[in-house]
Structure 1
Amino acid sequence: MPMELKGSCHCGAVRFKLQSSTPVPYQLCLCSICRKVGGVGGSINLGGHAKTLEVEGKEHVSVYNAVFDRDTPKERRASSQRNFCSKCSSMLWLWDETWPDLIHPFASAIDTELKPPKVMTCLLTNSKPEYVRLPEGEKKVYKKYPSLSIEEWHKENGEFVE
């Protein structure tokens, strides 16, 4: 049985829950989008089953489609939808039509106790400014993306919840 994750925004206007087979917060994204919308340290996405998402306070959820290559001729909008609270701006989850069965709650919005990873994965460090510090402890650092998906990492590390 997948693990139930419960989450909320900072002000409490939005509360949600969903089932997750990939609940370990091991992957810190340091791309400019995650740093700017999630805070200087980036964002940690978990994985969840989109069809299980239940939301209270839907009227307070807004969506941001990030901009790629801003201020260049190649500027375009991402297909991913970053859902956030319109009252307090807490990032809640990401959904992308490319993977419609998946939803990626931001670990920062999850209220359920999460198991800390033994090794942290830090990705897209090629986008990280010098002043941003990586987390303490053991970590694997990638300039771009690691080869394993969130699901593959959980399976390889014995953390996948059927």
Structure 2
Amino acid sequence: MKLNGSCHCGAVRFTVTAASPYPFMRCYCSICRKTAGGGGYAINLGADRRSLKVTGEENLSVYRARLDDGSLSTGERSFCSRCGSALWLYDPTWPGLVHPHASAIDTPLPVPPDRVHIMLGSKASWVEPEVREGDRCFDDYPDESLAQWHARHGFA
């Protein structure tokens, strides 16, 4: 599925092709929550990095989070330097993928039949996850990838 995305001010626009376009996984880790998650979580999609086309690239900045052990995350979180909108995550550990934030996507996204809540062990105390029947919850990482979730539901 081709996705169109942008920042709030419109200085950065992008397109990307996503085989995993359902916004089903809510991440409550402190990095996602503080850089992109106004509701206490962020939702990342899975897309083909080779298909990423960006206009307004001069307005991009990258943030690499400091981890609990003091090292820098390998993840590169791209955001608009003008308005601060979180746009996507790229991690060279998985060079073929880019993870656009669902909140930056302008294309209508399909509604997931269920959701996965991850990193609940580090959620903020004020966050009350909206867990529905059929949702799965994990204190840390889930037991399946974005691609596996889509395949299990017959979307791949």
Normalised TM-score (structure 2): 0.95
Q: State how far apart, in whole Å, the 2-side matches of 1:9 and 1:135 are.
A: 26
Opposite residue 38 of structure 1, the aligned amino acid is A
Which residue of structure 1 aligns with residue 26 of structure 2? 28
Q: State how far apart, in whole Å, the 1-side matches of 2:28 and 2:11 are.
A: 28
Matched position secondary structure for 1:137: coil
1:152 to 132, 148, 151: 148
- 1:39 shift after superposition: 2.7
Which residue of structure 2 aligns with residue 37 of structure 1? 35
Matched position secondary structure for 2:87: strand
Gap regions ≥5 residues in structure 2? none
Please tell me whether residue 82 in structure 1 is matched to residue 80 in structure 2: no
Root mean square deviation, CA, Å:
1.0
Which residue of structure 2 aligns with residue 92 of structure 1? 87
Opposite residue 28 of structure 1, the aligned amino acid is R
Which residue of structure 1 aligns with residue 127 of structure 2? 132
Please tell me whether residue 50 in structure 1 is matched to residue 76 in structure 2: no
Q: Deviations over 1:100-151 (max 9, x none)?
A: 1100000000000001111111000000122112135332111111110001
Q: How many residues align?
A: 154
Q: State how far apart, in whole Å, the 1-side matches of 2:152 and 2:56 are.
A: 36
Normalised TM-score (structure 1): 0.92
Q: State how far apart, in whole Å, the 1-side matches of 2:37 and 2:99 are.
A: 17
Gap regions ≥5 residues in structure 1? none
> What stretches of structure 1 move > 4 A for 4+ residues in a row?
none
- 1:76 shift after superposition: 0.7
Q: State how far apart, in whole Å, the 2-side matches of 1:108 and 1:75 are.
A: 29
